[in-house]
């Protein structure tokens, strides 16, 4: 290529000396002028070019349009281009250079074409501006602003180009500098440009070199990222055009070729777009090529996201949803996994409207063609969502299995293999229906795991019974098989109970922590009504029986007729503030009276209680049919932290009631500790271990 023709070979430090030479030229003599106001620069969205790759891509596009076969990008990779310590910008002497072997420009061409802002090259008089000069490539350029893109990241652009007709001396060289601060002013008077030392010289080969210096505090990403960022900007459809990157920050780095990205897809989700043209409202077919599909994995980087839309080999937009309004089916999955490469030449027709936004960030979705593409995309999204449902479910499931480590946890929690297997099975089923977007939330994953782990023993039990029933109906149940099933059922049942016991222990632990004097009695009554097993660990849901109900109503009526006042007995949790809570176990009726923590049971309390003792005694004597199920009689469980019964008669009576076993007082802590111990014992006896008990949480 052309680098050997010049005496001042570009180096990373060449920028400063070139600038130092500048005053030697008389600015007034410059043939080069640029006319552009600050307002125009803003409107053109130059600021949006804040990525080195995006800037370089514009220069590459220009090289392509100039029939270049090879473009070399020299850039310091993985560096901060300028420092901004303490708010002052400090240039670090870096250089970015884009050099091509295209047809270049003569000084006249530079003046006529390059130094015009916003001129559409495709409408140039006297030439086919829509096609490149020799290779007749459909050109990427259109807006006449690409050359200004570098001002998004730097303040000085050096243009060196050799072009025109080949003469005996070679190609005519144009060489000048564009300084942002000089050019971009509030008015739009033409500003003379600094002329370079090679200007009006000759070069043996044609081509252009654009050199950027005086950077803003932007970062050039690492090699992989930079290459990816460049790769997605072009389609590489042409075999006669290649882009190379040389890392200026690393002298030993080899020349890197920019190649298309490879994006792995979920099986069977790829749609080849050649067979899916867009149809205009009047039936005209608008050809499309490329593909759409669902990415196999969550994106590891921005460049692999979404669908990229190209026209003439250059990116014109990126979309994740073809601009669909929110709320379409499979939205989350589609937005996160939809990928594609859409080539639609009709988005950039010479004679058609310019459908790309001025700032080149996207296509104009509201234009006629934009609308067509939107509608077309919506259909395809639907189709891909449908095709990918199953593979997506599998992916979500696997993701859940991995994140929750449920296999390992099930094995740990359930000594029994059968139950652990059921848990894993359940996890696979539930996992597939997990909310994909929530899987990154640890709490969500943990909650779901807990549900699965607590349902597993019950499910295992059900399955064992089911199998048992099956064998019997088929008449195939041998005694051995039966024993086997019973064994399984027992294991499952045990695991199921262990689960319950473990939960209860956890609840008691929590209770012990929150019980304080601020809680009042009705809160405790409600607690007992909801968790009667606190009174009797062997309580199960089945125990809450009809006879308790009959007793409750009969006694409430009885009390009213005897005393003329209301009394409320609670069985389950009731709205009314109960006076007592009833729990019945194995023929013994527990009547639970609760005092708040720290309360001393005094004479008033006792006088009231004594009335009830009397009433319960008489009721039991007089209503033998109603109370027949409580063959072990009744007892009052008084939960109160201390006693302060002063009156002598009360003191004696209190002792006496206690000695009959009709009244048992337990302080809060003893009460809870006892309940806990029983459950823990259950867990220990069945070697269900501390972890499962959940009693030793960190």
Interaction site with ligand ATP (CB under 6 A) = 61-63, 65-66, 100, 102, 104-105, 113-114, 121, 141-147, 208
Contacted by 63, from ligand ATP, Mg ion, none: CB < 5 to 8 Å by type: ligand ATP
Tell me how far, at minimum, the Cβ of 28 lies from Mg ion, in Å: 30
Choose from ligand ATP, Mg ion, none: what does 142 bind? Cβ within 5-8 Å by kind: ligand ATP
In contact, 610 and 597? CB cutoff 8 Å? no
In 3D, which of 360, 240, 346 has the Cα closest to residue 289? Answer: 346
Shortest reach from residue 122's CB to Mg ion, in Å: 12
Helices within 234-306 (DSSP H only): none
What is the rounded CA–CA span in Å between residue 515 and residue 577? 19
Residue of 643, 657, 666 whose CA lies nearest to 592: 666
Closer to ligand ATP by Cβ: residue 114 or 430 = 114
- Are the C-beta atoms of 449 and 427 separated by less than 8 Å? yes
- DSSP designation for 193: P
Minimum CB distance to ligand ATP smaller for 105 or for 445: 105
Which of the residues 60 through 79 are near Mg ion (CB under 5 A)? Answer: 62
Strand partners of residue 90: 83
Structure tokens at 514: 């929150």
Sign of CA dihedral 127, 133, 139, 140: negative
Evaluate whether 393 touches 433 at the Cβ level (below 8 Å): yes
Are 201 and 173 within 8 A, CB to CB?
yes
Min CB(24)–ligand ATP separation in Å: 27
Neighbours of 166 (CB within 10 A): 13
Choice between 206 and 449, CB closer to ligand ATP: 206
Residue 208 interaction partner, one of ligand ATP, Mg ion, none, beta carbon < 5-8 Å per kind: ligand ATP
Which does residue 114 bind out of Mg ion, ligand ATP, none, counting CB within 5 to 8 angstroms by kind?
ligand ATP
* CB-nearer residue toward Mg ion: 141 or 306: 141
Residue nearer to ligand ATP on the CB measure, 48 or 261:
48
Nearest residue (CB) to Mg ion, 69 versus 411: 69
Q: Scan for tokens 């023709």, then name that residue.
A: 5
141 binds Mg ion (CB under 5 A): yes
Go through the chain and tell me how many residues it has. Answer: 698
Written as six digits, the tokens of 267 are 């099986």
Name the minimum Å distance from CB 93 to Mg ion: 28
Nearer to ligand ATP, 71 or 511 (CB): 71
Question: What does 145 bind: ligand ATP, Mg ion, none (CB cut-off 5 to 8 Å by kind)?
Answer: ligand ATP
Q: Which is nearer to ligand ATP, 145 or 195 (CB)?
A: 145
Task: Tell me the window of 136-144, 185-193, 401-409, 639-647 that interacts with Mg ion (CB under 5 A).
Answer: 136-144
Sequential DSSP letters for 137-154: PBPS--SS-GGGGGGGTE
Q: Which is nearer to Mg ion, 77 or 98 (CB)?
A: 98
From 145-153, 419-427, 547-555, 666-674, span contacting Mg ion (CB under 5 A): 145-153
Choose the contact partner of 91 out of Mg ion, ligand ATP, none; CB within 5 to 8 A by kind: none
Q: Taking the CB of residue 480, how many other CB atoms lie within 10 A of it?
A: 8
How far apart are CB 145 and Mg ion at their closest, in Å? 7
| CA distance readout (Å), 220 to 251, 261, 373 | 17, 19, 34
Shorter beta-carbon distance to Mg ion: residue 206 or 388: 206
Closest CA to 463 of 432, 428, 496: 496
Residue from 10, 146, 457, 694 binding Mg ion (CB under 5 A): 146
Provide the minimum distance between the beta carbon of 214 and ligand ATP in the complex, in angstroms, as a whole number. 20
Task: Report if residue 207 touches Mg ion, rule: CB under 5 A.
Answer: no
Secondary structure of residue 578 in the 3-state scheme: coil
CB of 11 to Mg ion, least distance (A): 27
Q: Which stretch binds Mg ion (CB under 5 A): 58-66, 180-188, 507-515, 661-669?
A: 58-66
| 290 scored as a contact of Mg ion (CB under 5 A) | no
How far apart, in whole angstroms, are the C-alpha atoms of residue 225 and residue 335? 22
Whichever of 34 and 273 has its CB closer to ligand ATP, that residue is 34
HEC assignment per residue over 487-542: HHHHHHHHHHHHHHHHHHHHHHHHHHHHCCCCCCHHHHHHHHHHCHHHCCCCCCHH
Task: Decide whether 162 or 501 has the Cβ nearer to ligand ATP.
Answer: 162
CB of 9 to ligand ATP, least distance (A): 19
Question: Quick one: which of 491, 482, 490 has its CA closest to 417?
Answer: 491
Distance CA 384, CA 378 (A): 10
Least distance CB 127 / ligand ATP (angstroms): 10
When computed from its CA atoms, the radius of gyration of the chain, rounded to whole angstroms, is 42
CB of 144 to Mg ion, least distance (A): 8
* CA–CA gap between residue 179 and residue 156 (Å, rounded): 5
Tokens (6 digits) for 688: 């269900």
Min CB(445)–Mg ion separation in Å: 49
In this chain, which stretch among 133-141, 162-170, 213-221, 536-544 interacts with Mg ion, using CB under 5 A?
133-141
CA–chain centroid gap for 474, Å, is 50
- Residues at the interface with Mg ion (CB under 5 A): 62, 141, 146
């Amino acid at each position: 290529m052309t680098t050997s023709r010049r005496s001042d070979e570009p180096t990373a430090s060449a920028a400063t000396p070139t600038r130092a030479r500048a005053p030697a030229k008389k600015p007034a003599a410059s043939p080069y002028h640029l006319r552009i106001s600050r307002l125009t620069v803003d409107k053109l969205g130059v600021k949006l070019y804040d990525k080195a790759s995006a800037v370089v891509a514009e220069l590459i596009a220009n090289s392509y349009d100039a029939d270049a076969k090879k473009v070399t990008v020299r850039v310091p990779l993985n560096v901060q281009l300028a420092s901004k310590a303490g708010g002052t910008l400090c240039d670090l002497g870096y250089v970015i250079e884009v050099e091509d072997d295209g047809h270049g420009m003569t000084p006249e061409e530079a003046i006529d074409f390059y130094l015009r802002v916003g001129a559409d090259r495709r409408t140039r008089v006297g030439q086919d501006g829509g096609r490149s000069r020799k290779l007749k490539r459909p050109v990427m350029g259109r807006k006449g602003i690409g050359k200004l893109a570098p001002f998004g990241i730097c303040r000085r652009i050096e243009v060196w180009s050799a072009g025109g007709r080949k003469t005996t001396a070679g190609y005519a060289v144009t060489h000048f500098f564009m300084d942002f601060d000089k050019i971009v002013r509030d008015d739009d008077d033409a500003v003379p440009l600094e002329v370079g030392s090679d200007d009006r010289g000759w070069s043996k080969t044609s081509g252009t070199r654009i050199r950027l210096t005086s950077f803003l505090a932007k970062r050039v990403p690492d090699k992989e990222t930079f290459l990816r960022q460049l790769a997605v900007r072009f389609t590489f459809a042409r075999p006669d055009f290649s882009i190379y990157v040389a890392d200026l920050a690393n002298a030993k780095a080899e020349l890197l070729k920019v190649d298309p990205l490879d994006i792995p897809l979920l099986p069977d989700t790829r749609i080849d777009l050649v067979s899916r043209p867009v149809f205009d409202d009047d039936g005209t077919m608008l050809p499309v090529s490329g593909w759409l599909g669902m990415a196999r994995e969550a994106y590891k980087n921005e460049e692999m996201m979404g669908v990229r839309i190209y026209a003439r080999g250059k990116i014109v937009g990126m979309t994740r949803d073809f601009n669909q309004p929110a709320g379409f089916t499979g939205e989350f999955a589609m937005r996160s996994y939809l990928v594609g490469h859409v080539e639609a030449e009709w988005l950039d027709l010479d004679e058609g409207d310019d459908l790309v936004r001025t700032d080149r960030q996207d296509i104009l979705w509201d234009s006629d063609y934009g609308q067509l593409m939107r509608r077309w995309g919506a259909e395809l999204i639907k189709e891909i969502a449908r095709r990918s449902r199953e593979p997506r479910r599998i992916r979500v499931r696997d993701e859940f299995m991995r994140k929750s480590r449920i296999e390992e946890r099930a094995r740990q929690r359930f000594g029994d293999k059968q139950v652990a297997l059921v848990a894993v099975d359940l996890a696979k089923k539930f996992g597939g229906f997990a909310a994909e977007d929530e899987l990154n939330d640890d709490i969500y994953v943990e909650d779901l795991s807990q549900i699965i782990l607590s349902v597993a023993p019950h499910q295992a039990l059900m399955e064992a019974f089911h199998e048992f029933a099956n064998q019997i109906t088929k008449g195939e149940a041998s005694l051995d098989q039966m024993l086997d099933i019973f064994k399984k059922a027992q294991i499952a049942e045990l695991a199921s109970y262990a689960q319950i016991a473990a939960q209860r222990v956890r609840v008691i632990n929590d209770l012990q922590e929150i019980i304080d004097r601020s809680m009042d009695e009705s809160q405790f009554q409600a607690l007992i009504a909801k968790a009667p097993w606190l009174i009797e660990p062997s309580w199960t849901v089945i125990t809450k029986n009809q006879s308790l109900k009959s007793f409750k109503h009969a006694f409430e009526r009885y009390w009213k007729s005897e005393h003329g006042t209301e009394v409320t007995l609670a069985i389950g949790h009731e709205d009314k503030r109960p006076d007592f809570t009833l729990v019945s176990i194995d023929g013994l009726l527990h009547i639970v009276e609760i005092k708040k923590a720290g309360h001393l049971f005094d004479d008033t309390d006792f006088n009231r209680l004594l009335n009830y003792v009397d009433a319960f005694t008489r009721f039991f004597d007089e209503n033998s049919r109603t109370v027949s199920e409580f063959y072990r009689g009744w007892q009052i469980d008084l939960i109160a932290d201390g006693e302060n019964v002063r009156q002598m008669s009360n003191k004696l009576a209190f002792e006496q009631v206690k000695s009959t076993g009709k009244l048992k007082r337990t302080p809060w802590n003893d009460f809870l500790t006892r309940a806990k111990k029983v459950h823990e014992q259950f867990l220990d006896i069945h070697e269900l271990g501390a972890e499962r008990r959940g009693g030793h949480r960190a």
